[in-house]
Homo-oligomer: A and B are copies of this chain.
Amino acid sequence: MSSSDLLLSRRDLAFLLHDWLDVTRLTERPRYAEHSRETFDAVLDLAAQVAAERFAPHNRAADTGEPTFDGQRVRTIPQVKAALDAFAGTGLLAATLDESIGGMQLPHAVAAAAFAWFQAANVGTSAYPFLTLGNANLLLAHGSPEQVDTWVRPMVQGRFFGTMCLSEPQAGSSLADLTTRAEPQDDGTYRIVGTKMWISAGDHELAENIVHLVLARIPGGPPGVKGLSLFIVPKVLRDGDGPGPRNDVVLVGLNHKLGYRGTTNTLLNFGEGVHRPYGRAGAVGYLVGQPHQGLTLMFHMMNEARIGIGAGATALGYTAHLKSVAYARQRPQGRPVADKDPTAPQVPIIAHPDVRRMLLAQKSYVEGALALILYCGRLLDEEKTAPAEADRDRAHLLLELLTPIAKSWPAQWCLAANDLAIQVHGGYGYTRDYDVEQHWRDNRLNAIHEGTHGIQALDLLGRKVTMRDGAALEALLETIRGTVTRAWKAEGFASELAGQLGAAVDRIGVVTRRLWATGDPELALANASVYLEAVGHVVIAWMWLEQALAVEALGSPDGAEGEFLAGKRQAARYFYRWELPTVAARFDLLESLDRTTLDMRESWF
């Protein structure tokens, strides 16, 4: 086994991308015409290799040797810089970008698979380029040509890194309460003054420059989120084509986290006057797009960022799953229940049904989540390149609706998978000698950053479900019903599962109507998290039915391929027998318009 075999499964990626999503068909479209299955495979090979050789080996070291700040500079262990240089060498940052900016124009589905290798290998180190990519994507969509040339090109080359500066100490989930100010200057620039909290990759010495994208208020704008504008605020200003003066952005301190420690997480002061570019206090900022459009611009890239969080959660779940399977195969302990002879040799723990339960649960979670992540990547490709506008719009609607699920479901269930991976390892899993405890700690962040679980729930039920008179939800339900119909017709294994999914998807429609028929947003949204979780389970069940159909299409080969397909079937079966039935109780609760949490008073705690 190569070391990448404990990160992700090449066979599973090929199954999902080719046997199921048929990404090679995308090469019929002009954007991807230069590509082929061979170039896709080469990208995945490269990603697997660099992730295994440069990212995985220092995953633990980056955790135990987290970044430090001596008041002057941030120090990271040297392996981080070496890994990021290797990543820059792959050119993968530009995997999905246009050729005009030096990009590869790969499909998002393929790129997401390539990126997952790095997230599985070392989620802390890989956060630097992926944050940078989010930043670059936003500027490519909304920046001026000059801004793209000045800031994005060096990012694509791996010379500059990027951040997103939204939160402030008093305002994390509530962006309406951001107070950072942007004072317009005569030369068209702005001076930014304020404090930003939780800024990942907010300071370090890993790149020539750090390009902060900052939400701030131009005086005189409306209150709340409608008065936010977006600014480029570099750590180092430019002087022609070279570095200019240090901007007035100061690291106050690093946050010390439970996990994800390799990524610096910072409290930044903007415009306190520590540095005085061009002789004056205030951080120089450049407006992106129009004034007061900041949140809209941010939302433009938030879908991708949120799916990226789900991808990271999935990758952490996936690698821990593979590691716990490997452990369970080689750790001898005990004997089968029916074997009472204590002199018989011990069996590997994978021989115990309860251990297989824990492994199969993980498999159903992480492979289900990965299917959803790649499916969303495929939707991004459709949204961008489908020939018919109706198809692009449909992809857009599905993506809008699926984004909070693709973010939250893996964050919740691939964390649960990590918990099971620890349990499979027993006492050893509780030590820092094995990887699984770190994966569990790292993964815990994913339900918090880029919008908490509760925020995703409000986004799904309060915004996405109601958008365009329910068009997104209708598109989802129709699409799932399409899968159910195909499964009915397919007979065999997939058809066994179809009825169960058909009933569950009908229930989504009924429950959603019931909630909004109250006409009372407070009541409708009170149990939004349960709604998110129940719909999430149905969506993953759908992903498993899709996979079951792809499995059936592959027939009954012998050998390793047959065993791979048998494993897929059993994981699908597990999800339908063990997981999908749990949604009934959640839908019942929602349908009853339960007021338990709504009626609970603060003073009763």
**For the complex, what is the distance from the CA of A342 to the CA of B334, rounded to whole Å?**
62
**For the complex, what is the distance from the CA of A449 to the CA of B395, rounded to whole Å?**
49
A482 sits at the interface (CB 8 A): no
Say yes or no: A354 contacts B528, CB within 8 Å: yes
Say yes or no: A173 contacts B426, CB within 8 Å: yes
Say yes or no: B170 contacts A332, CB within 8 Å: yes
**For the complex, what is the distance from the CA of A584 to the CA of B600, rounded to whole Å?**
26
CB-CB contacts below 8 Å: A440-471 with B: 440-441, 444-445, 447-449, 452-454, 457-458, 462
A244 sits at the interface (CB 8 A): no
A375 sits at the interface (CB 8 A): no
A576 closest partner in B (C-beta): B596
Distance in Å: Cβ of A263 to nearest Cβ of chain B: 12
Identify 10 residue pairs between A and B in the complex whose beta-carbon atoms are under 8 Å apart, listed by A's number.
A177-B334, A257-B431, A257-B432, A258-B430, A353-B522, A354-B457, A430-B448, A564-B604, A570-B599, A574-B597
Distance in Å: Cβ of A366 to nearest Cβ of chain B: 12
A222 closest partner in B (C-beta): B342
A360 sits at the interface (CB 8 A): yes
Contacts of A430 in B (CB 8 A): 257-259, 444-445, 448
| CB contact between A258 and one of B432, B448, B592 (< 8 Å): that residue | B432
Question: Which of A255, A337, A422, A570 is most buried by chain B, counting CB atoms within 10 A of its CB?
Answer: A337
Contacts of A522 in B (CB 8 A): 336-338, 353
Contacts of A275 in B (CB 8 A): none
Say yes or no: A574 contacts B596, CB within 8 Å: yes
| CB contact between A584 and one of B177, B574, B578, B585 (< 8 Å): that residue | B585
A556 sits at the interface (CB 8 A): no
Q: Given A256-B431, A333-B173, A529-B357, is A589 in contact with B605 using a C-beta cutoff of 8 Å?
A: no
A243 sits at the interface (CB 8 A): no
A58 sits at the interface (CB 8 A): no
Per CB-CB distance, the 8 closest pairs between chain A and chain B, nearest first, are A224-B342, A567-B604, A174-B334, A581-B585, A357-B597, A354-B454, A176-B342, A258-B437
A109 sits at the interface (CB 8 A): no
Say yes or no: B427 contacts A172, CB within 8 Å: yes
Question: Which of A225, A336, A447, A578 is most buried by chain B, counting CB atoms within 10 A of its CB?
Answer: A578
| CB contact between A453 and one of B423, B563, B573, B599 (< 8 Å): that residue | B423
Contacts of A528 in B (CB 8 A): 354
Distance in Å: Cβ of A321 to nearest Cβ of chain B: 9
Say yes or no: B597 contacts A427, CB within 8 Å: no
Contact-size category for A:
35 or more
A256 closest partner in B (C-beta): B432
Distance in Å: Cβ of A320 to nearest Cβ of chain B: 13
Stretch in A117-125, A343-351, A539-547 with 4+ CB within 8 Å of B:
A343-351
Say yes or no: A527 contacts B332, CB within 8 Å: no
Say yes or no: A423 contacts B437, CB within 8 Å: no
A225 closest partner in B (C-beta): B342
**For the complex, what is the distance from the CA of A597 to the CA of B358, rounded to whole Å?**
9
A588 sits at the interface (CB 8 A): yes
Say yes or no: A172 contacts B333, CB within 8 Å: yes
**For the complex, what is the distance from the CA of A432 to the CA of B63, rounded to whole Å?**
14
Question: Which of A357, A457, A582, A597 is most buried by chain B, counting CB atoms within 10 A of its CB?
Answer: A597
- Given A224-B342, A574-B600: 20 more A-B contacts, CB < 8 Å: A167-B427, A176-B342, A225-B342, A337-B521, A337-B525, A350-B605, A353-B597, A354-B597, A357-B527, A360-B596, A360-B597, A423-B452, A570-B599, A577-B589, A577-B596, A578-B589, A578-B596, A581-B589, A582-B585, A584-B584
CB-CB contacts below 8 Å: A516-569 with B: 521-522, 525-529, 563-564, 566-567
Contact with B along A588-602 (1 / 0, CB 8 A): 110010101111111
